[in-house]
Amino acid sequence: MTTPALPAPVVSLAYHSGFGHTAVLAEAVRAAAVEAGATVHLIKVDEITEAQWEQLDASDAIVFGSPTYMGTASGAFHTFAEASAKRWATRAWQDKLAAGFTNSASKSGDKLHTLQFFTVLAAQHGMSWVSLNLLPGWNSSTASENDLNRLGFFLGAAAQSPNDQGAEGVHKADIATAEHLGRRIAEQARIVVAGRAALAA
């Protein structure tokens, strides 16, 4: 007796990009998640449609992405977060997986606060947060700025891009770190899909 194939996990990336840097990270997360077997939707939160809200509702995992402006997520992302209150009221995103990524011009740039904002948003919705699960790079004399997780974040993927460069300025190590996040969220979503199928059997 053969076991029926499970559907591919569905991952949606709800993100805002002001100058193109965060869009580069979103594409890296998307490509790696697709390579890992997920169906992925890219959703620009400043252009979101009702159909895309429904895609979020139908997803197994939602990855939040935003630049860090003035120590928090962008205004456009905050508008999206507030609009998600309709989903909060109906628990539409309860028990979905969540993860996040951000970019700023400074090495720190208070990006941690943006990732923490994402985690609180996820918690309000009853979601389960998926961390980056990478040891920090570039923290010894023999390490390199080309290491994965070169900025040493744990909650999610963080990138630093010079403020006088466009999307081409996103560091290759930060792109690779975002790819790692994409693979990880796809793998964790596959586990959740398989678990739900097993419980329903």
Q: What percent of the chain has pLDDT over 90?
A: 96
Query: Quick check: 139 and 148 in contact, CB under 8 A?
Result: no
Tell whether the model's pLDDT for residue 176 goes beyond 80.
yes
Provide mean pLDDT across the span 97-107: 98
Amino acid at 144: S
Which pLDDT band holds residue 3 (cuts at 50, 70, 90)?
A: low
Structure tokens belonging to residue 189: 């979503």
Instruction: Tell me the average pLDDT of the chain.
Output: 96
Angle among Cα 59, 114, 105 to the nearest 5 degrees reads: 115
In this predicted model, what pLDDT tens digit does every residue of 38-74 receive, in sequence order? 999 999 999 999 999 999 999 999 999 999 999 999 9
Tell whether the model's pLDDT for residue 19 goes beyond 90.
yes
Which pLDDT band holds residue 4 (cuts at 50, 70, 90)?
A: low
Provide mean pLDDT across the span 81-95: 98
Which pLDDT band holds residue 201 (cuts at 50, 70, 90)?
A: confident
Tell whether the model's pLDDT for residue 2 goes beyond 60.
no
pLDDT of residue 86: 97
